[in-house]
Amino acid sequence: MQREILFATNNAHKLEEVKAILGDGYRLVTLRERGITEEIPEEQPTIEGNALQKVRYVHARSGADCFADDTGLEVAALGGAPGVHSARYATEGHDFEANVRLLLHNLEGVSDRRARFRTVVALILDGQEYTFEGIVNGTIAESPRGGEGFGYDPVFIPDGYAETFAQMPAGLKNAISHRAIAVRRFAEFMQERREV
């Protein structure tokens, strides 16, 4: 039997990624299905803080078991930027092409292109809060490559690979990504709870 859990996102790409990682044991309920159509606040100074703010906001309005995630790209030469501001790096809107252009502009002439993607999944289950983290290290490409994925995927090359996330088949990216690591930890926790 599938367990219903509310996923605090309106991002269709993210929804498909998480569905693929979680597998058939869950039915992800969307914000729209619960009538939550407003913009969810993300006002905290950290990735973990944003994930917790989002899940608390949605839980307060729905009363449902729910989870939210927040992700940031942290670039060593930029002091960890764009970090918590990754989605709004170039503009207040979620204009990822503009974000990528600004990132590449800020790295012009910089030889240290080390970066990491970090995702935190925050869960409220039976009134208790939990967090799960996933990190993947890599480098920033000189220019965008590939047409898959979203966000910074066209310029992020994970360690051990020659392709950007946007050049990889979705199955491979979903196996190794920061979101995959965090969601797998979340899924393992949920599975342990089901077996108790």
Q: Could you tell me which residues are annotated as the binding site for substrate?
A: 9-14, 71, 150-153, 173, 178-179
Q: Residues annotated as binding site for Mg(2+)?
A: 70
Closest CA to 187 of 115, 134, 136: 134
Q: CA 131, CA 28: separation in Å to the nearest integer?
A: 18
Q: CA 53, CA 49: separation in Å to the nearest integer?
A: 6
Calculate Rg over the CA atoms of the chain: 17
Question: Catalytic residue positions?
Answer: 70
Q: Which helix (H) or strand (E) holds 47?
A: helix 47-62
Q: Residues annotated as binding site?
A: 9-14, 70-71, 150-153, 173, 178-179
Cβ contact 165:156 at 8 Å: yes
